[in-house]
């Protein structure tokens, strides 16, 4: 931990999957739900247009499945979080209950927005992701451990070799991912530095 920012070395919990490549941020949180003053309550609108028909009938989307309602590890496929750079997408996932995302690949800005919330985005090969999604579907109570420091994803007797962006890994493990909290906790040092600047 660094100055009150928690280290995120590992995340454990049950899983939920969303299958498909190129799932963009508009699918994760439709634009009409972004007209909010705070992010509170945004989780209920995650994947809204995939979860409900026009007449509000529920679809068979995993986020509607009672088996996954307490899940905290989201498992996805390729180029997840592409499209608009809206920070509301990871905010919605966080408020739904997601603490880590494991996938084949992520859009760069989405991964950066996740990091700002302390949510690891961990990558693994397609075969491993497919197998993990199947395991979640077959055994929803399986505990999945995302080890950011060791760069592995474990469940049951399986351990997947994963990858975490080096800068993300350092920020999470060293507890320096929350820059706002770091600035607040070092206010005296910031004021001291500011006082020494000739143009202030």
Binned at pLDDT 50, 70 and 90, residue 191 comes out as low
The CA distance from 142 to 150, in Å, is 20
| Sequence-separated (6 or more) residues with CB below 8 Å from residue 123 | 102, 103, 104, 105, 106, 162, 163, 164
For residues 188 and 138, the model is more confident at: 138
Q: Which domains does the chain have, with CATH numbers?
A: 10-196 (3.20.19.10)
Q: Which two tokens stand for residue 124?
A: 């693994």
Query: Given a cut of 70, is residue 196 above it in pLDDT?
Result: yes
Asked whether the beta carbons of 99 and 11 are under 8 A apart, the reply is yes
The CA distance from 34 to 90, in Å, is 12
For the chain, strand residue ranges (E) read 10-17, 73-75, 100-103, 121-123, 143-147, 152-155, 158-161
Q: Which two tokens stand for residue 148?
A: 């950011």
The CA distance from 151 to 133, in Å, is 19
Q: Which two tokens stand for residue 61?
A: 């989307």
For residues 5 and 97, the model is more confident at: 97
Mean pLDDT of 103-132: 97
Query: Given a cut of 80, is residue 5 above it in pLDDT?
Result: no
């Amino acid at each position: 931990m660094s100055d009150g920012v928690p280290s995120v070395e590992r995340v454990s919990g049950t899983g939920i999957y969303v299958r498909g490549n190129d799932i963009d941020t508009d699918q994760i949180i439709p634009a009409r739900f972004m007209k909010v003053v705070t992010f509170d309550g945004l989780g209920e609108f995650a994947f809204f247009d995939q979860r409900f028909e026009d007449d509000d009938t529920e679809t068979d989307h995993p986020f509607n499945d009672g088996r996954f309602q307490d899940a905290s590890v989201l498992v996805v496929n390729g180029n997840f979080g592409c499209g608009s750079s809206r920070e509301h997408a990871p905010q919605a996932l966080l408020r739904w209950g997601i603490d880590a995302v494991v996938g084949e690949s992520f859009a760069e800005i989405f991964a950066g927005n996740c990091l700002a919330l302390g949510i690891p985005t961990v990558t693994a090969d397609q075969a491993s992701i497919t197998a993990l999604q199947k395991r979640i579907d077959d055994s929803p109570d399986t505990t999945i451990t995302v080890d950011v420091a060791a760069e592995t994803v474990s469940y049951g007797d399986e351990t997947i070799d994963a990858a975490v962006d080096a800068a993300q890994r350092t920020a999470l493990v060293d507890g320096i991912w929350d820059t706002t909290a770091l600035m607040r906790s070092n206010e005296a040092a910031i004021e001291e530095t500011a006082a020494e600047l000739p143009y202030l």
